[in-house]
A and B are shown apart, each in its own frame.
Chain A
Amino acid sequence: MRTFIAFLLALYLVFFAAAAFESFGEPQGLGRIAEHYAAEGFEEVGAINLVTAVVVTYRGLDTLGEVSVLFTAASAVILLLSVFPLGKPANKPSSIVLLTMKVLPGPILLFGGYIIAHGHLTPGGGFPGGAVVASAALLVLLGCTQEVGFAKWLTFAESMAGFSFAMLGFWGLLKLGQFLNNSVLFLGIPGQLLSAGIIPLISAAIGVKVASELSGILVAYRCGGGKE
């Protein structure tokens, strides 16, 4: 009964919102900045996928901040788990999980790498690709009962990725006077894999950073804090 009342309330709120935003989804004029992105973005950055172009170059500073927020969250989780360890998993994984963790992580890693590498061409980029790579690491960790080999490389990969993201930004500052200017590298022919300036490099840096941070959290949950 309670559930039914809550459901009706939620449904009412949804219809209320739908009525309030009746014009939602209808084409309307872009704002001035969005107009500039849509009209000039392709010429300026040479990326086919404008979403990644905006996220990585025009709004690249915001993305740098976003990645720092993720870094802070991951450090806090790992710090908490090293003070209050959850301990190691007691039960052994079933044979289904063991078989899955042998077969699936490879294709998932490949897919994640594809999303990261083609961030400037197809939907995706550093953040989604890094999340997909982290879910491959999750599959490996599901079957793990002791320390995993890649755990000690995560911190190194994460700090190198963050460092190279900032350095790519400063490259533009030194060469052209703008932080994260995209034209420091050749723009190339739009549609090719090696094009669109530093967007693929920044995508790769974000991808490595997000993947290593999320996997670091998972490792800390599953295998970390070791001593009991």
Chain B
Amino acid sequence: MNPDFLLGIASVAGVSMIIAAVRAIFVRDLLSAIILVGFVSLTASVLFFLMDAPDVAITEASIGAGISTVIFLWGRSKVREE
């Protein structure tokens, strides 16, 4: 693919990753913070894929964006009950 195009995708993913990570620290709502952290993992997996590491991208997408987000969500539902 066109290297400029790839660089564009990487820049968008990287900048949105920084924005999401910073927002996740300061946002008041726990649910928004969890979803932002999952989004950080998703952009990380895009970046891994662009850096020719598809196996790491698969692992990051399924563990980082999938499993750990859901574990945080389950934990959050327990926090709200108590």
Q: Residues of A at under 8 Å CB distance from B?
A: 2-3, 6-7, 10-11, 14, 51-52, 86-87, 89, 115, 123-125, 127-128, 131-132, 134-135, 138, 142, 214, 217-218, 221-222
Contacts and interface: CB of A to CB of B under 8 A. Distances in A.
Nearest to A7: B22
Please classify the interface of chain A as helix (H, G, I), strand (E, B), loop, or mixed, using the class held by over half of its residues.
helix
A70 to B, nearest CB: 11
A51 B66 contact: no
B55 A123 contact: yes
A219 B54 CA distance: 28
B66 A138 contact: yes
Please classify the interface of chain B as helix (H, G, I), strand (E, B), loop, or mixed, using the class held by over half of its residues.
helix
Contacts of A10: 18, 21-22
A193 B66 CA distance: 29
Given A51-B55, A132-B62, A7 B67 contact: no
Contacts of A138: 66-67, 70
Interface in B47-69: 53-56, 58-59, 62-63, 66-67
23 contacts: A3-B23, A3-B26, A6-B25, A7-B22, A11-B18, A14-B18, A86-B78, A87-B78, A89-B74, A89-B77, A123-B53, A128-B56, A128-B62, A131-B59, A131-B62, A131-B67, A134-B67, A138-B66, A214-B67, A218-B70, A218-B71, A221-B71, A222-B74
B18 A128 contact: no
Given A52-B55, A128-B55, A138-B70, 17 more contacts: A2-B26, A3-B23, A14-B14, A86-B74, A89-B74, A89-B77, A124-B58, A125-B55, A127-B55, A127-B59, A128-B59, A131-B58, A138-B66, A214-B67, A217-B71, A218-B71, A221-B71
Interface in B18-43: 18-19, 21-23, 25-26
A17 B37 CA distance: 22
Interface residues of B, number: 24
B22 A124 contact: no
Give the 5 A-B residue pairs with the shortest CB-CB distance, closest first: A128-B58, A123-B54, A131-B62, A135-B62, A123-B55
A124 B25 CA distance: 33
B59 A3 contact: no
B63 A214 contact: yes
